[in-house]
Amino acid sequence: MHEIPESVVKYIEELHDLLNSYARAYYVLDAPLVSDEEYDALLRELVQIEELYPELVTPDSPTQKIGGEIRKEFPSVVHSAPMLSLNNAYSEGELRDFEERVSRILAESSPGLSKPQFDYHVEAKVDGLAVSVTYERGVFARGVTRGDGTTGEDVSHNIRTIRSLPLKLAEPVDIEVRGEIFFPISDFERFNRSLEDAGEKPFANPRNAAAGTIRQQDSTIAAARPLDMFLYQVVEPAAHGLDTQTGCFEFLKRLGLRTNPKVAQCGSISSVIELLASWADKRTTLDFPVDGAVIKVNQLSLWETLGSTAKAPRAMIAYKWAAEAITTQLLDVEYGISRNGILTPVAVLKPVSLAGSTVKRATLHNLDEIERLGLMINDTVRLEKGGDVIPKVVGVLSDLRKDDASPVPVPERCPHCGSMLARDENSHNLRCINQSCKGMLAEQIAFMAARGCLDIEGLGEKISWRLVDEGFVKSIPDLFRLADRKDELIELDGFAEVSVEKLLARIEAVKTSSFTRWLVSLGITGIGQSAATELASRYPGFEDLSSATPEELSAIYGFGEIMAQSIADWFSDEANRGLLYELKTLGVKPEPSKTPGNEGGIFEGKSFVLTGAFPGLTREQLKVFLTANGGKVTSSLSGSTDYLIAGESAGSKLVKAVGLGVEVLSPEALVDMMRDNLDRVVIPTVLLDKAFFTKIKDHE
């Protein structure tokens, strides 16, 4: 390796700083210091120097946005804290209900204390792709998609190419931030035209374009597309001395991160409503896709008090503007089928452009909805996109009804298997009662293969239906017999040897997927992701769970009698028992999801609540540790709570714990408490590299 002149090293550092400052002025401050041509000239110069001295290329170099890395897969990453969804509001009344709910919870959490004072931080809601970005000592380390909210995909190679996202922050901090990647509207229109000119299919809307770009395996593709990004959340804000959402925005900008320019601070929900009215007419003038606004309680200390549901935080809400509407003609009504046999009427429409995409079909939900609308074939109908996403028929222009209008046909037999249909007494839905219905089976297979279930890539709804229609799959176990018919599959139109081999390999791999995934994939009434996780933490496999009584199941926190009975009934059904036996003979052996060390752990029977910030450690990591050792972590503090673990900048929960007589522990006191039982302490593998847990094992 040749010696590098000190002057070259110094000049490269100067170029880094200069280009980074120009990028910050352009993207964050909206105050360009140089022209695009001058910036590009400096960047080319840096590229040339780095080609001569490749050992000087650093991860935070501006040249690393050009792309070049190719990934064949996207590793899964568990989020340090869940990336939850938001509850939606569509009216002034729902916004006032939100404020009333927030005020009530805060009042109930601090009885006898003065009413908590709070205001709101309002942000225009960008319709893009939510991601989490981590910096280590101020240098970009990782970018992860939202995924299912708990686990996302590592797409760092593409996220790092976004021009507005700095690879090096203005301060050398360890921080995780979250934001929204989007396709600027003006750039999207130009980009789509270039695709059409090249004979390629254009994207339906900017959000699809952003999502499709971020999941490209070749980062040069992402680098060539004009993606942009706004950051809006600091994970663990207390660790950075932040106590308001407004302060978070200022801190993000100080670090050199781009934030949403369409923000405001409001003292009351009435002021929020006035602001939203003023924004509504101007949203089409913005160059980023907006479908509403996000209203957040500004005081971060109150977020913890307000807590969250399984899906959404209570401290914030998304307001959606009235959807764009248009008229078109109803050509026909077809009937889709669910995995449970429910038939859903689907409107077949004369193609029409709505909210950036071409709409040809829209759900009609059920027969009652058709009757309520007074719908007839060939009617002119009013079409909207609910939340600017899902197309739906919302009305009929009966004055425009023509002589050729005819009643919507209601089938007597299942269009997928020909069996007689039954009508549910309560819902009035049509239901196929043939448990061997091809349509039901195809939907069951597609459901099992979905990302939130067994995640069998390449086995979507279209392929599931094809396998059923062609007779390859006549029951769920047949899915795991497809390897025996590999040669026949390859002969099918549209199937190639490579794709068939990949599909069969993925099907084989899911035989040992986690017990949690298998529980969700079976579609047992009442068992979603959270219920499956809870069951899998208590029962290692199907045999153990099948012997659980309704009384035993209903004793589980969050499980009621109806849900417990539903689970017990499923496992006592002979057909379901036969299904599980057949799957077992085919090699299906779910991996136990039970947390090692949970049973008989040193914290068994003890409940914990966490508050404040823990340097070098997220609350989720601490929660994993406590749970692995038998403890139960909740968000609500009460007199029955055993311990409150208080980190730095602990808020109202610390005051409340003292008043309730709950024992308060610092992280250090938690370590001391385990002194006599260190040989029983379980540290999950994912936490072994964290200094806090190393200290526990080394503690004397």
Q: pLDDT tens digits, residue range 407-461? A: 999 999 999 999 999 887 665 678 898 988 999 999 999 999 987 789 898 898 8
Whether the pLDDT of residue 333 is over 90: the answer is: yes
Question: Is residue 689's pLDDT more than 70?
Answer: no
Residue 34 has pLDDT above 80, yes or no: no
CA distances from 597 to 533, 540, 602, 682, 684 (A): 16, 13, 9, 6, 9
Q: Could you give the C-alpha distances from 500 to 264, 445, 483, 506, in angstroms and in order?
A: 53, 17, 9, 10
Q: Which of 369-373, 453-457, 513-517, 692-696 has the lowest mean pLDDT?
A: 692-696
How high does pLDDT run on average in the chain?
A: 84
φ, ψ for residue 665, nearest 5 deg? -120, 140
Is the pLDDT reported for residue 585 higher than 90?
Answer: yes
Query: What gap in Å lies between CA 232 and CA 79, rounded to an integer?
Result: 17
CA distance 114 to 540: 48
For residue 620, the model assigns a pLDDT of 64
Is 178 in a helix, a strand, or coil? strand
HEC secondary structure over 537-578: CCCCCHHHHHCCCHHHHHCCCCCCHHHHHHHHHHHHCHHHHH
Structural contact between residues 410 and 367, judged by C-beta atoms closer than 8 angstroms = yes
Given a cut of 60, is residue 284 above it in pLDDT? Answer: yes
Strands lying side by side in the sheet with 129-136: 139-145, 129-136, 175-182, 228-234
Task: Tell me if 284 sits within 8 A of 274, measured CB to CB.
Answer: no
Residues 6+ apart with CB under 8 A from 538: 556, 594
Give SS3 for 427: coil
Query: How is residue 699 written in tokens?
Result: 């503690």
- Whether the CB-CB separation of 291 and 321 falls below 8 Å is answered with yes
DSSP-based helix, strand, coil % in the chain, nearest 5? 40, 20, 40
Q: Who wins on pLDDT, 387 or 167?
A: 167
State how far the alpha carbon of 142 is from the alpha carbons of 155, 334, 410, 488, in Å: 8, 46, 53, 43
Q: How confident is the model at residue 385 (pLDDT cuts 50, 70, 90)?
A: low
Q: Would the pTM count as exceeding 0.75?
A: no
d(CA 391, CA 209): 19
Q: What DSSP assignment string belongs to 77-139?
A: EE-SS------EE-SHHHHHHHHHHHHHHHHHHSTTSPPPP--EEEEEEE-SEEEEEEEETTE
Check residue 115 and give its pLDDT: 67
Report d(CA 440, CA 415) in Å as an integer: 11
User: Contact at 8 Å (CB) between 191 and 212?
Assistant: no
Cα–Cα distance list, 588 to 535, 583, 593, 678 (Å): 19, 5, 15, 37
**What does the pLDDT read at residue 346?**
92
Domains in the chain (CATH in brackets) are 6-65 (1.10.287.610), 97-320 (3.30.470.30), 325-414 (2.40.50.140), 438-512 (1.10.150.20), 515-585 (1.10.150.20), 607-698 (3.40.50.10190)
Instruction: Give the lowest-confidence range in 226-240, 429-443, 543-557, 678-692.
Output: 678-692
Structure tokens at 131: 């991601």
User: What pLDDT does 597 receive?
Assistant: 39
Establish whether 125 is a catalytic residue.
yes
Check pLDDT > 50 for residue 595. Answer: no
* Residue 67: partners with Cβ closer than 8 Å, 6 or more residues away: 157, 158, 161, 218, 219, 220, 221, 222, 223, 224
Amino acid symbol at 594: K
Q: Indicate the DSSP class of residue 70.
A: B
pLDDT at 576 exceeding the cut of 70: yes
> Which three-class secondary structure string do you get for 374-423?
CCEECCEEEEEEECCCEEEEEEECHHHCCCCCEECCCCCECCCCCCEEEE
Q: List the single range of 153-167, 168-182, 551-565 with lowest mean pLDDT.
A: 551-565
Distance separating alpha carbons of residues 278 and 275, to the nearest angstrom? 5
Write down the pLDDT at residue 387.
43
Neighbour count for residue 700 (Cβ, 10 Å) = 4
Mean pLDDT comparison of 10-14, 405-409, 645-649, 685-689, highest-scoring range: 405-409
CA 90: distance to chain centroid?
A: 22
What is the mean predicted confidence (pLDDT) over 52-56? 79
User: Are 98 and 89 in contact, with CB atoms under 8 Å apart?
Assistant: yes
What distances in angstroms separate CA 185 from CA 228, 289, 652, one per listed residue? 11, 7, 44
d(C-alpha 321, C-alpha 502), whole Å: 43
Band (36; pLDDT cuts 50, 70, 90): low
Helix H, strand E, coil C: the string for 627-656 is HHCCCEECCCCCCCCCEEEECECCCHHHHH
In this predicted structure, the answer to whether residue 316 has a pLDDT above a threshold of 80 is: yes
**Distance of alpha carbon 165 from alpha carbon 177, whole angstroms:** 12
Q: Which of 72, 115, 125, 632 is catalytic?
A: 125
- Mean pLDDT, to the nearest integer, of 683-692? 60
The pLDDT value recorded for residue 596 is 39
pLDDT exceeds 80 at position 67: no
The neighbour count for residue 460, using CB atoms within 10 Å, is 13
Of 273-282, 439-448, 546-555, 656-665, the range with the highest mean pLDDT is 439-448
Q: Which of 44, 80, 84, 67 is nearest to 620 (CA)?
A: 80
pLDDT, average across residues 386-401:
77
Contacts with 24 (C-beta within 8 Å, 6 or more apart), sequence order: 166, 170, 256
Q: CA 339 to CA 445: how far, in whole Å? A: 8
What are the angstrom distances between the C-alpha of 42 and each of 19, 48, 419, 551? 8, 10, 71, 71
Residue 357: beta bridge partners? 354
Lookup: tokens for 594: 């039970």
